[in-house]
Amino acid sequence: MSKDAELHDLRHVAASLMLAAGVDIKIVQLTLGHVTSTYTRDTYTTVYPQLSRDAAEHTAALLKSASARS
């Protein structure tokens, strides 16, 4: 494996781990040096479908909490 391929693999792992840890997409974008967060989002968010489920669950919990206070 070439050094370039190894570096690319490490970048991919780092981005995937940051997203799985809940790091904001803008921070991941800046860390990787991507021009836009759209590119970062399109490239990496498909790696962890669990992120979408977690986001939905967090949103539902927030809505339940807000309606319970009302």
Alpha-helix runs per DSSP H in the chain? 3-20, 25-32, 37-44, 49-69
Residue-level pLDDT at 4: 67
Q: Which domain holds residue 29?
A: 3-69
State which amino acid sits at residue 15: A
Residue-level pLDDT at 56: 80
pTM to 2 decimals?
0.62
Report whether 44 contacts 28 (CB < 8 A): yes
Top pLDDT among 55 and 31 is at: 31
Q: Which of 58, 61, 57, 47 is nearest to 19 (CA)?
A: 47
Give the distance from CA 19 to its chain's centroid. Answer: 3
Number of domains in the chain: 1
Question: To the nearest whole percent, how much of the chain has pLDDT over 70?
Answer: 86
